[in-house]
Amino acid sequence: MSVKGNEPRILKPKVNPRNGFLYVSLQRDDRSNTRAVHVLVALAFLGPRPPGLQVRHGPGGKLNNAPSNLRYDTGISGLEHHMAARTECDNGHPFTEDNLMWRTDRGKRYRKCRTCHYDAQARYQAKVKKKESSLATASGRTPRRGP
């Protein structure tokens, strides 16, 4: 690659140890700008990145930046993608902004229905209360009366 106004410089791609992607340093005059190779290749061969999508590597792996190994996709994969496409939970509660909770399990992000979550909590609380009152009965004390 060449740089306008200056002698051509060979860009040496370096692997970023934090994310495993290849980066090149673009130099012009005395400024340098570090860019991810896959982002530049995607821009050149796939066109501008649509909003909300990321450059994803295919089966060739993170260091294979051939255009055929790159695609624009959401940052989530497989099952997560399936979940993200759903508009309601198993119990039919709508997946709206304020009914959703994001959870992370072993590095994977997934959405959880807030209504179901609170229902489950309420059921658990009720179970604990029931257990407490049956224990109280068993020990000869007056069972607590519900409202």
Query: Nearest approach, Cβ of 23 to Zn ion (angstroms)?
Result: 43
CB of 90 to Zn ion, least distance (A): 7
Cα distance between residue 78 and residue 93, in whole Å: 23
How many CA atoms within 13 Å lie on the side-chain side of 141?
9
Check binding of 91 to Zn ion (CB under 5 A). Answer: yes
Contact code string over 98-117 relative to Zn ion, x by CB under 5 A: ---------------x-xx-
Residue 87 near Zn ion by CB under 5 A: no
Interactions with Zn ion, residue window 39-68 (CB under 5 A): none
Binders of Zn ion among 113-142, rule CB under 5 A? 113, 115-116
CB 53, CB 72: distance < 8 Å:
yes
Q: Which one, 91 or 139, has the nearer CB to Zn ion?
A: 91
Distance CA 33, CA 115 (A): 47
How far, in Å, CA of 85 to CA of 108, rounded?
16
- Residue 70, SS3? strand
Please, what is the minimum distance in Å from the beta carbon of residue 52 to Zn ion? 25
User: What is the size of the binding site for Zn ion (CB under 5 A)?
Assistant: 6
CA distance 64 to 80: 24
Which residues pair with residue 108 across a beta bridge? 105
The reply on whether position 93 binds Zn ion by CB under 5 A is yes
CB of 50 vs Zn ion, minimal distance in Å: 31
Binding site for Zn ion (CB under 5 A): 89, 91, 93, 113, 115-116
